[in-house]
């Protein structure tokens, strides 16, 4: 899939170059026409809501992570992870997103036991691993309107009270 997306990016640039006017041989003229063709994953939100449980001594939270591809190319398959600590330790959930089109978003939800004390959750779209230090999706190099890997993480503070999760 990654090779297909890279080929689409190259073909898009070739098609753009072919459509330029004849006087486009001046590099300063080309600058206004160059368009970066990349996906750009961003974690838009981490939402929390109390969940009714049969045993009030064991409260739960419904956690929802919203990921959007704000780039101009589809993103191939990637993981999204939710951790109960800001440093990324522990794991509440791990989802596989097979593809995310340009300009579209996905909502991922899980029911978890409510932490007994205040903490900060962290959600990561396309987390790095040993084989892929920048994740699975080739994103924009950053700069301009797209932030590359810099916007793949979102923190959300939790109050420690499942009935009123936001501090």
The residues facing 75 across adjacent strands are 100
- Reported as a single tens digit per residue, the pLDDT across 119-144 is 999 999 999 888 888 889 988 776 55
pLDDT at 14: 44
**pLDDT of the residue at 146:** 60
The predicted-structure confidence for 42-93, as pLDDT tens digits, reads as follows 999 999 999 988 888 899 999 999 999 999 999 999 999 999 999 999 999 9
- Cα radius of gyration (the chain): 20
Provide the pLDDT for residue 107.
98
147 CA to centre of own chain: 11
pLDDT of residue 143: 55
The CA distance from 48 to 35, in Å, is 37
């Amino acid at each position: 899939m990654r090779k297909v997306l890279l080929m689409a990016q190259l073909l898009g640039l070739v098609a753009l170059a072919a459509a330029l006017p004849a006087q486009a041989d001046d590099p300063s003229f080309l600058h206004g026409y160059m368009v970066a063709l990349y996906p750009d994953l961003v974690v838009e939100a981490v939402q929390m809501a109390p969940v009714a449980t049969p045993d009030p001594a064991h409260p739960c939270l419904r956690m929802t992570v919203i990921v959007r591809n704000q780039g101009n190319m589809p993103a191939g398959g990637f993981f999204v992870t939710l951790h109960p600590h800001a440093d990324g330790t522990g794991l509440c959930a791990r989802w596989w997103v097979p593809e995310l089109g340009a300009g579209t978003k996905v909502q991922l939800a899980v029911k978890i036991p409510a932490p007994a004390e205040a903490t900060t959750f962290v959600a990561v779209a396309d987390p790095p691993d040993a084989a892929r230090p920048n994740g699975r999706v080739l994103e924009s190099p950053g700069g301009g309107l797209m932030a590359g890997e810099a916007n793949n993480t979102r923190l959300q503070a939790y109050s420690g009270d499942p009935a009123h999760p936001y501090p």
